[in-house]
Amino acid sequence: MIQLKGIQKQYGTGAAQVTALKHIDLTVNKGEIFGIIGHSGAGKSTLIRTINLLERPSAGQVLIDGVDMTALGTGRLQEERRTIGMIFQHFNLLTSDTVAENIAFPLRLAGQSKAQVAARVQELIGLVGLDGHGDKYPSQLSGGQKQRVGIARALATNPKVLLCDEATSALDPQTTQSILSLLLSINKELQITIVLITHEMQVIRSICDRVAVIDGGEIVEAGPVTDVFLKP
């Protein structure tokens, strides 16, 4: 489903150059929840942002269902990106738009009609458990509710893959568990492959099938969660 081949990433040039990723080879299978764990600065954020080319790798290839994302022109890349949803630590919602408008955003970009957008937004609001909150603004929601909006927006265009960038790191433990349960049901019921990054072992233990440990821009260990970390 997702293949990263020989991914390298340098930021900056000359004396200011930082190597964020040294040489990453990684395969994520269709239907699994794959976790990437590491300390701050290990390269997690850079790695996950490479999958949808929010960061363009300095070298290497990103293949999604066999399509080499790194070889696509702007138009095709935009199209292929709709098959990859993403959620963020700080939710990245448009604060002056309502819940419904935030979720509608990618559908409008995709050129859907008003009626199509309205129907899909209602469906998504139900899916993430936010019925009755469509007309609220992000400032009126709790952290967990904001992340539910982020999830609904990410799923709007029916992606095959959902990327989660420290999606629960700003949430308390109880809210974290409820968001992880939602992600698990999305994975199981909608057959969406999930890649998440986290610095929290508990997140890996609760929902991931396989895990890679990243340190200093390199994958130092990878395998089934039960092999890499003993379950509690």
Residues found near ligand ADP in the complex (CB under 6 A): 11-12, 18, 20, 38, 40-46, 89, 165-166
Edge to edge, the sheet with strand 33-37 lists 84-88, 161-165, 193-198, 33-37, 210-215, 218-224
User: Closer to ligand ADP at the Cβ: 55 or 187?
Assistant: 55
- Between 38 and 159, name the residue whose CB sits nearer to ligand ADP: 38
Please state the closest distance from residue 10 (CB atom) to ligand ADP, in A.
9
Q: Minimum CB separation from ligand ADP for residue 24, in Å?
A: 11
Instruction: Please identify, using beta-carbon distances, which residue of 13 and 96 lies nearer to ligand ADP.
Output: 13
Residue of minimal CB distance from ligand ADP? Answer: 45
Q: Which is nearer to ligand ADP, 24 or 104 (CB)?
A: 24
Phi and psi of 34, rounded to 5°?
Answer: -110, 125
70's enclosing H/E stretch is none
CA 223 vs. chain centroid, Å, equals: 20
Q: How far is the CB of 45 from ligand ADP (least distance, A)?
A: 3
Between 62 and 166, CB nearer to ligand ADP:
166
Q: Strands 161-165 and 193-198, how do they pair?
A: parallel
Closest approach of ligand ADP to the CB of residue 143, in Å: 15
Instruction: Give the nearest distance from C-beta 63 to ligand ADP in angstroms.
Output: 21
What sections of the chain are H helices per DSSP? 44-51, 74-81, 99-109, 114-127, 143-155, 173-190, 201-207, 225-228
Distance separating alpha carbons of residues 177 and 155, to the nearest angstrom: 20
